[in-house]
Amino acid sequence: MQNLKDKVALVTGVGRRGGIGAAVARRLAADGASLVLADLCDAPSSLPHAGHGAWEELTFIAGELETAGAPVLPLRVDVADARSVAAMVAQTRDRFGRLDILVNNAGAAIGPLPVLQMAEEAWRKTLEINATGTFLCCKLALPLMIQGGRGGRVINMSSLAARRPKPFMAAYAASKAAVLALTVSLAQEVGPLGITVNAVLPGDVDTPMKQWGLQMEAAVTGHSHAQVVADLQARIPLGRLATPEDVANLVAFLASDEASFITGQGYNLTGGREWTGQ
């Protein structure tokens, strides 16, 4: 466990119990942090997508952490809207007076199709949530972190898709590549202030979003869901999908004092899949 006592962490995309955001929130709370938990809690698009966070699930997670002793503030936020993000930061300031850790986890894969068939709305909305959302949260939350004069940690959720784009996922891959580039640029800008900025690039993580994608693949290929999962696991050297907790463990390390000299990096978390050529 890392020592995050007296630290305040803001985590976006926490509105699904089985998602990465929820696992990150649980781990940071277990390590001693106070938490601001945020999610859209509304449908991001009428186009096909993996579902969205729900206020009921966000408040359930918040209640779970509060019962365990962590101070928690659950909030609705649209990360693609500057006014909504600014309101989230203001509420964070009002409740806790500081910000030490920012985890930009909110993300979506909307309307995945071949580029020639992709709806323009799907492209725009995916970029707005994943790339612009991460930009706005950094831009508007970092002043509160800087005001503290204690340095801080920013962890952005990119994806292996940023480095290994797949067919039908051009918008998602482009948005996550943008997150990775933003991470490297921002790390150089705020490094002199003692703030580190790093990205996590998960591969295949067993979340509701991933299961949605696997079900779509099964429908397109005519294979069973079980066969699609088995084929995927066979391409991962460690022989399994990642768990959300695997991702949370890396985020917790990057949020800790032990990672104080690590910045501008993008960490693959894939079970070695990127080396298999599949």
Please identify every residue annotated as catalytic: 172
CA distances from 117 to 71, 122, 131, 158 (A): 46, 10, 22, 25
Query: 78, 86 in Cβ contact below 8 A?
Result: no
Continuous H helices in the chain: 20-30, 55-67, 82-96, 120-127, 133-148, 170-190, 208-221, 225-234, 244-255
SS3 category, 112: coil
CA distances from 54 to 35, 41, 85 (A): 18, 4, 18
172 Cβ contact list (under 8 Å, min separation 6): 109, 112, 126, 130, 159, 161
CA distances from 199 to 40, 168, 189, 202, 218 (A): 22, 23, 15, 10, 30
Distance CA 252, CA 24 (A): 8
> Residue type for 50, please?
A
Q: Which is it for strands 101-104 and 72-76: parallel, antiparallel or unpaired?
A: unpaired
